[in-house]
Structure 1
Amino acid sequence: MKFEGTGIEKVAADLNKLDFIMESEGFVRADQWDYERVTYDRKYNMVEGTFYLRISGYATEGDVGSKRAHIQLLTPLLGKHYYPHGVEYGEGEDFPKSLIQSSKKTLDQLKEKLEAMTAEA
């Protein structure tokens, strides 16, 4: 499921500042990167299954491995994990309403923090 129009897809920021803000909202980058791309995931364990709110981005300058990169974020996605195959982000997935509401609230809070960070720069 895509969360269109959140404003997050318009954000471009320094990788180190981005890592700090994303972590403060429960997103983990861990080893989900290569030299040109990053992926931040927030995990939700629920009775209905395991879900991930994912925000990806790509380097417009520098590279992620050197920790000196400027990252353009992309449209947030919500996916459901299926063992052992992985996460499905398709529109045909069924997501609990409480999860969608929680994800929207998280994205709103994240957007506020990202806007404050970009205003400082």
Structure 2
Amino acid sequence: MKFENTGIETLTVDLNRLDQVMEHNGMVRAGQWDYERVTYDYKFQIKEGIYYLRIQGYATEGDVGSYDAYIQLMTPYLGKYYYPHGIEYGEDEFFPEHLVKQCNKMLSSIYEEAKVFAE
């Protein structure tokens, strides 16, 4: 499930500031990066299953590995985890209304905090 028109996809933010904003909102980057891309995840374990809110971005300038990059964020999305196959994001998936509402709230908070540091 894609979250269109959150404003997040319009932001380009310094990686160090972005890491702070994401961490403040519970999003984890961990080892999910390479020198040109980053992925932030938030894991939900609810009665309906395991879901991940994911925000990805790519470096428009600099290098992620050296913590010297500006990251263009992309459209956030939500996926359901299936063992052992992984995460499915398709239109056919069921996403509980309370989960979607919580994700929208988180995305709004991330946008408001990140836009202060956007270029």
TM-score range relative to shorter protein: over 0.9
- Consecutive aligned runs of 4 or more in structure 1 exceeding 2 Å deviation: none
What's the RMSD between the two structures over aligned residues? 0.9
Unaligned runs of 5+ in 2: none
Give 3-state SS (helix, strand or coil) of 1:102's partner: helix
Alignment partner of 1:103 is 2:99: no
1:42-88 Cα shifts (integer Å, max 9, x gaps): 11100100000000000001111111111000000000000111111
Separation of aligned partners in 2, 1:89 and 1:19: 24
Q: What residue identity is the alignment partner of 1:53? A: L
Q: Is the 8 A contact 2:53 2:79 kept in 1?
A: yes
Aligned to 2:73: 73
Q: What residue identity is the alignment partner of 2:13? A: A
Q: Deviation at 1:117?
A: 2.5
Aligned to 1:12: 12
- Counting aligned pairs with the same residue, the percent is 60
Question: With structure 1 as the length reference, what TM-score do the two structures score?
Answer: 0.95
Q: What residue identity is the alignment partner of 2:68? A: R
Q: Is the 8 A contact 2:14 2:117 kept in 1?
A: no
